[in-house]
């Protein structure tokens, strides 16, 4: 099946770690360790991925064509390392996931679990 | 190109175990990842053990999952005939391995006897190792339940160049606080207090803590709040924080606990918060109250030799242990320069809190035990390797035929390894079950002073450890047989009928090597066990110097709110003492500040000088200063040369003291000290007349050396509001507990009795650690000896069976049975002697490790070494005698007919 015609909704919901990886790659290309550190920072140290686990998620995202290896950014980058970037399809899936989460948040607000916040 | 930090060899090795495809895709990437991971962990001061544990478990899991993936993906491909394996892709090779796993399982099932023996041997070794590791993990490796607990340190005073450590002064604490040496630093004191709620008063361990205490440990309240600066104001309510345990046991886990008021040592205190579960540090406290300081200008607090506080601190952001040590040493050097008379050569050092809690002996004992089980496991491995070698030899024909039919050598090697892995993992699974049981026994039997042992269990990190060790072990015992099948020559094997004759000279040599290794390892273990046994024997025989039978002790603490003056305290203690002494069933009674053989209590370290001598270091004697009521030495059945104290030794009479012989000898030499006077030169500064001398006895546990001791009457000083009741009973001492309770209740019903135990119990407790070490080491050594004997017997029987034909020929052409016997023994004795000799040599290397654990036994104790050598030689000979006799009984006719 050609990628462009795939329905992003079919991949939902993403696992929390997958969502995190995609969100980090949305800010630019990164290698594995960079992704780990980014996640560590943005979750207040609560999500701490080790190599084997992280690359298992990365492979899953790769086989679904949500991310792909990126060309080297600059000369100073280490040629032995693999940088990943988000594919356009990946971006659509992430957006779909975020919309799904927003629906969930709205539901929580309606049920008074959390106070509504102006967008 | 930025350089990638180096990755530890072990991890690089681990990555090599991953499937080819995985390594090709991610190998470099993983190395780069791990390099940065380790470099960053150094920067952020993440504990090494944590990084290693996380990274290895993660990698091992990933590798196993990758292999499973490869297996599952290619199962559908079906059986591939292994014609030209080198040309197959990694995945196809994997499916071949999949077949091999099935093949190996079948072959193991066919050999039930061999499989059962191997799996049981491995389970025994792996189970013991896993169980001990789970204790090691819980006690030594697991971080404390506080955030970044590796940055919490205990500041202590120390003499430059010595390992002595003692507590700190308030003045030094103020230095650190004002110079921002730490992020947080607090002085604290431990104390026992009586908490009165609804029912009987209970004695609770209390930490009296400075304002930054909770900042230093970094914990948060689970209910309410922890102590805050407002609680330290002069007119603040006397706030108290309680432990989760106390909240649940004494207050039934009430949700409205915060704000309720409790009576602690006669003072009404509001509870402001509850600590989270497990955060009972320091030393299992149940109650935390603010340390109130009236004025920091108080001369007692300004003194630089008033080492009465404990301290706790958290390293400043960015600071390391080294930089903090330097900062503390710098400040201490300034103090030493300003107060040379009292602080010369004294410095201040930080100790990581976990290390401080565990002390030196517990980690050492645990590592020794882990090493012992590792040896046991190794011996088990050697046995299994032996079994496999023997089996490989008898399967040589099968292997040869398979080679001839086109199976590559690589494949045969792999087959052996796959079998080993299956055996290793089966042994591991059974071993973990065994470990579950053994950990429970260990925890129940462990001495109570081992911190954190109660948390030991077979949890995830331990399982990961068992898994990794099983695989490593499988490689260990699988390697030799694998090499054997690599070297096997098909033509030779088939040509010779593959039944016996030269079943491969190298395989015989390999098995003989294993016998030597096995013997050497057993010797090593037995030496360790023997030394520990000798040590415990010495401990049991120690003459404590007094009659410990029929003595019961119990401690009390006297609330300052109701007994405000020293006179009040003395009246209470002396009344209680008189009532106890008069009670039926009690032969003698006294109350003392510190009880012998680790019975607990309180004493002061002081310097004393005799009358007429200047208080200079060469004239001073360092003493332990205790306080007692009359009758104490009677209760211990210790003769007093001179006289005991009486009720008339009080503030109105001449100051007196009783000393032990060590003190008398240090201060007066051979002169009779009675009638002489001496004074505590730094604090009390009052001349006391020596009225009695008692023999030396062991004061702080059976390991204690002789030290100078001094006792003064409670009534002659500012009485300490605590004491240890010591009574000698007519009947069994434990039965006197009710008498103690009754008499205490009749004097003051609101004082609790705690730590009730007989002196025998105290003595047993002070040896509990040594006993456990000795018992476990011996158990492991006996197991090892049994395994080794079985192993040696197996190898020799096999080798005799192999030579049946040759021996038959010898007998047929006229050899005597005795000659045959000697022939076999001549072959085996060098192995036995060699193994024992190597073991003894390695045993000498134990010296450094064992010395600190032994009591009055040299780590090179000749008796132990000789006994072990003789024992193992006998075992080795016995194990070879049976096959040798069988050889001598060979009927030449039958032996030759087998050709």
Residue of A nearest to B53 (CA): A50
Give me the pLDDT at residue B81, please. 45
Tell me how close the Cα of A78 comes to any Cα of chain B, in angstroms. Answer: 6
Quote the crossing angle between the two packed helices B90-110 and B112-136, to the nearest 10°.
Answer: 110
Highest mean pLDDT among B389-403, B485-499, B750-764, B847-861: B750-764
pLDDT digit string (tens) for B150-162? Answer: 889 999 988 887 7
Segment B597-617 shows an average pLDDT of 76
Residue of A nearest to B4 (CA): A78
Segment B6-15 shows an average pLDDT of 78
For B286, counting Cβ atoms within 10 Å of its Cβ (0-12 exposed, 13-18 middle, 19+ buried), the class is buried
CA angle B718, B722, B728 (to 5 degrees): 115
pLDDT digit string (tens) for B816-842? Answer: 888 888 888 888 888 889 989 998 988
From chain B, the residues in CB contact with A56 under 8 A are: 62, 65
Place of tokens 């210790």: B638
The fraction of chain B above a pLDDT of 90, given in percent, is 11
pLDDT digit string (tens) for B207-263? Answer: 899 999 998 988 888 888 888 888 888 778 889 999 888 888 888 888 888 888 888
Distance separating alpha carbons of residues B563 and B571, to the nearest angstrom: 10
CA dist B540 → A32, B398, B699, B779, B863 (Å): 60, 60, 16, 20, 18
Tell me how close the Cα of A76 comes to any Cα of chain B, in angstroms. Answer: 6
Residue of B nearest to A48 (CA): B54
From chain A, the residues in CB contact with B40 under 8 A are: 37
Inspect the interface and report whether the beta carbons of A33 and B1 lie closer than 8 Å: no
Distance separating alpha carbons of residues B267 and B562, to the nearest angstrom: 9
To the question of pTM greater than 0.90 for the whole model, the response is no
Using an 8 Å CB-CB cutoff, list residues of chain B that contact chain A: 1-2, 4, 26, 28-30, 32-34, 36-37, 40, 54-55, 58-59, 61-63, 65
Residue of B nearest to A82 (CA): B29
Tell me how close the Cα of A10 comes to any Cα of chain B, in angstroms. Answer: 24
Note the helical H segments in B76-111. 90-110
Place of tokens 């792996």: B126
Q: How many CB pairs under 8 A join A and B?
A: 58
Task: Name the band, by pLDDT with cuts 50, 70 and 90, for residue B501.
Answer: very low
The lowest-confidence range among A101-105, B57-61, B468-472, B505-509 is B505-509
Tell me how close the Cα of A115 comes to any Cα of chain B, in angstroms. Answer: 25
pLDDT digit string (tens) for B476-487? Answer: 777 777 776 666
Inspect the interface and report whether the beta carbons of A56 and B59 lie closer than 8 Å: no
For B683, counting Cβ atoms within 10 Å of its Cβ (0-12 exposed, 13-18 middle, 19+ buried), the class is middle
Task: Name the band, by pLDDT with cuts 50, 70 and 90, for residue B114.
Answer: confident
From chain A, the residues in CB contact with B59 under 8 A are: 50-52
Whether the predicted pLDDT of A6 surpasses 50: yes
Backbone angles phi, psi at B39, to 5 degrees: -65, -45
Inspect the interface and report whether the beta carbons of B65 and A31 lie closer than 8 Å: no
Tell me how close the Cα of B1 comes to any Cα of chain A, in angstroms. Answer: 6
Task: Name the band, by pLDDT with cuts 50, 70 and 90, for residue A44.
Answer: confident
Whether the predicted pLDDT of B5 surpasses 70: no
Tell me how close the Cα of B60 comes to any Cα of chain A, in angstroms. Answer: 8
A50, A53, A55: best mutation site toward chain B, by most B Cβ within 10 Å? A50
Segment B84-97 shows an average pLDDT of 55
- ipTM field: 0.89
Using an 8 Å CB-CB cutoff, list residues of chain A that contact chain B: 31-33, 36-37, 48, 50-56, 76, 78-82
Residue of B nearest to A32 (CA): B33
The answer to whether B641 and B674 are in contact (CB under 8 A) is: yes
Residue of B nearest to A79 (CA): B1
Backbone angles phi, psi at B537, to 5 degrees: -60, -45
Higher pLDDT, B880 or B270: B270
Phi-psi map region of B644: left, alpha, beta (phi>0 left; psi -120 to 50 alpha): beta
Distance separating alpha carbons of residues A113 and A105, to the nearest angstrom: 9
Task: Name the band, by pLDDT with cuts 50, 70 and 90, for residue A58.
Answer: very high
pLDDT digit string (tens) for B843-859? Answer: 888 777 777 777 777 88
Backbone angles phi, psi at B587, to 5 degrees: -90, -40
Give me the pLDDT at residue A16, please. 92
From chain B, the residues in CB contact with A48 under 8 A are: 54
The lowest-confidence range among A78-82, B19-23, B82-86 is B82-86
Highest mean pLDDT among B602-616, B832-846, B885-899: B832-846
In this structure, the strands spanning B551-557 and B754-758 are: antiparallel
Inspect the interface and report whether the beta carbons of B2 and A81 lie closer than 8 Å: no
């Amino acid at each position: 099946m050609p990628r462009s015609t795939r329905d992003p909704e079919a991949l939902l919901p993403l696992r929390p770690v997958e969502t995190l990886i995609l969100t980090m790659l949305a800010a630019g290309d990164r290698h594995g360790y960079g992704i780990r550190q980014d996640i560590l920072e943005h979750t207040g140290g609560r999500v701490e991925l080790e190599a084997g686990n992280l690359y298992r998620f990365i492979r899953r995202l790769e086989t679904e064509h949500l991310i792909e290896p990126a060309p080297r950014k600059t000369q100073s980058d280490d040629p032995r390392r693999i940088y990943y970037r988000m594919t356009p399809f990946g971006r659509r899936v992430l957006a779909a996931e975020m919309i799904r989460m927003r629906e969930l948040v709205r539901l929580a607000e309606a049920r008074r679990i959390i106070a509504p916040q102006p967008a | 190109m930025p350089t990638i930090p180096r990755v530890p060899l072990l991890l690089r090795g681990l990555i090599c175990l991953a499937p080819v495809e995985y390594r090709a895709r991610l190998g470099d990437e993983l190395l780069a990842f791990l390099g940065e991971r380790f470099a960053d962990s150094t920067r952020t001061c993440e504990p090494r053990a944590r990084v290693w544990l996380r990274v290895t478990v993660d990698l091992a899991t990933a590798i196993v999952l990758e292999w499973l993936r490869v297996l599952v993906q290619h199962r559908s491909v079906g059986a591939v005939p292994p014609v030209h394996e080198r040309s197959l892709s990694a995945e196809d090779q994997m499916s071949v391995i999949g077949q091999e796993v099935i093949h190996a399982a079948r072959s193991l099932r066919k050999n039930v006897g061999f499989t059962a023996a191997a799996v049981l041997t491995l389970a025994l070794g792996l189970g013991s190792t896993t169980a001990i590791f789970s204790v090691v993990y819980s006690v030594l490796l697991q971080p404390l339940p506080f955030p970044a607990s590796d940055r919490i340190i205990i500041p202590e005073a120390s003499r430059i160049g010595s390992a002595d450590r003692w507590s700190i002064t308030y003045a030094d604490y103020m230095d650190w606080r004002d110079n921002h040496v730490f992020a947080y630093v607090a002085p604290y004191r431990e104390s026992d207090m009586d908490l009165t709620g609804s029912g009987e008063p209970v004695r609770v361990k209390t930490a009296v803590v400075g304002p930054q205490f909770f900042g230093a440990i970094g914990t948060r309240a689970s209910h309410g709040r922890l102590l805050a600066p407002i609680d330290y104001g002069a007119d603040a309510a006397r706030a108290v924080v309680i432990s989760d345990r106390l909240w649940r046991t004494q207050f039934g886990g009430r949700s409205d606990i915060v704000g309720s008021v409790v009576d602690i040592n006669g003072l009404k205190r509001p509870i402001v918060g509850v600590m989270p579960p497990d955060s009972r540090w320091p030393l299992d406290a149940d109650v935390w109250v603010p340390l109130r300081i009236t004025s920091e200008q108080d001369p007692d607090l300004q003194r630089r030799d008033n080492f009465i506080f404990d301290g706790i601190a958290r390293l400043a952001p960015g600071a390391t242990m080294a930089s903090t040590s330097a900062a503390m040493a710098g400040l201490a050097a300034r103090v030493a320069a300003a107060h040379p008379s009292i602080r010369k050569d004294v410095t201040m050092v930080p100790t990581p809190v976990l290390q401080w809690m565990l002390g030196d002996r517990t980690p050492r004992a645990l590592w020794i035990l882990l090493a012992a089980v590792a040896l046991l496991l190794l011996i088990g491995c050697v046995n299994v390797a032996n079994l496999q070698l023997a089996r490989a030899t008898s399967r040589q024909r099968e292997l040869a035929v398979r080679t001839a039919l086109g199976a590559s050598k690589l494949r045969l090697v792999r087959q052996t390894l796959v079998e080993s892995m299956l055996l290793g993992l089966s042994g591991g699974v059974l071993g973990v079950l065994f470990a579950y049981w053994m950990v429970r026994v260990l925890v129940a039997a462990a001495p109570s002073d081992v911190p954190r042992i109660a948390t030991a269990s077979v949890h995830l990190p331990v399982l990961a450890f068992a898994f990794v060790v099983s695989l490593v072990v499988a490689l260990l015992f699988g390697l030799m047989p694998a090499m054997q099948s690599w070297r096997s020559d098909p033509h030779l094997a088939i040509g010779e009928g593959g039944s016996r004759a030269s079943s491969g000279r190298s395989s015989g040599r390999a098995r003989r090597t294993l016998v030597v290794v096995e013997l050497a390892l057993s010797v090593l273990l037995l030496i360790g066990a023997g030394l520990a046994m000798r040590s415990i024997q010495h401990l049991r025989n120690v003459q404590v110097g007094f009659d410990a039978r029929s003595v019961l002790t119990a401690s009390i603490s006297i609330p300052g709110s109701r007994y405000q003056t020293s006179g009040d305290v003395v009246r209470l203690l002396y009344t209680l003492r008189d009532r106890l002494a008069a009670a039926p069933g009690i032969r003698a009674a006294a109350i003392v500040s510190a009880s012998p053989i680790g019975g607990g209590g309180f004493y002061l370290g002081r310097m004393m000088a005799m009358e007429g001598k200047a208080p200079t270091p060469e004239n001073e004697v360092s003493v332990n200063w205790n306080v007692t009521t009359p009758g104490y030495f009677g209760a211990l059945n210790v003769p007093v040369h001179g006289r005991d104290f009486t009720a008339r030794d009080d503030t109105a009479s001449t100051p007196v003291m009783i000393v032990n012989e060590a003190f008398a000898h240090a201060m007066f030499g051979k002169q009779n000290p009675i009638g002489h006077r001496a004074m505590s030169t730094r604090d009390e500064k009052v001349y006391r007349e020596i009225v009695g001398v008692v023999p030396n006895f062991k004061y702080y546990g059976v390991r204690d050396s002789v030290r100078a001791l001094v006792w003064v009457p409670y009534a002659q000083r500012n009485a300490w509001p605590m004491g240890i009741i010591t009574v000698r009973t007519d009947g069994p001492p434990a039965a006197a507990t009710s008498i103690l309770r009754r008499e205490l209740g009749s004097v003051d019903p609101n004082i609790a009795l705690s730590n009730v135990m007989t002196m025998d119990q105290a003595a047993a407790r002070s040896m509990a650690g040594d006993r456990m070490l000795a018992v476990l080491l011996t158990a492991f050594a006996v197991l090892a000896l049994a395994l080794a004997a079985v192993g040696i017997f197996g190898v020799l029987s096999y080798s005799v069976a192999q030579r049946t034909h040759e021996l038959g020929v010898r007998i047929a052409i006229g050899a005597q049975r005795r000659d045959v016997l000697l022939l076999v023994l001549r072959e085996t004795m060098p192995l036995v002697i060699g193994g024992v000799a190597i073991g003894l040599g390695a045993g000498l290397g134990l010296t450094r490790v064992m010395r600190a654990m032994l009591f009055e036994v040299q780590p090179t104790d000749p008796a132990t070494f000789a006994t072990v050598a003789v024992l193992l030689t006998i075992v080795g000979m016995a194990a070879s005698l049976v096959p040798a006799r069988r050889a001598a009984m060979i009927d030449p006719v039958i032996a030759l007919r087998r050709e």
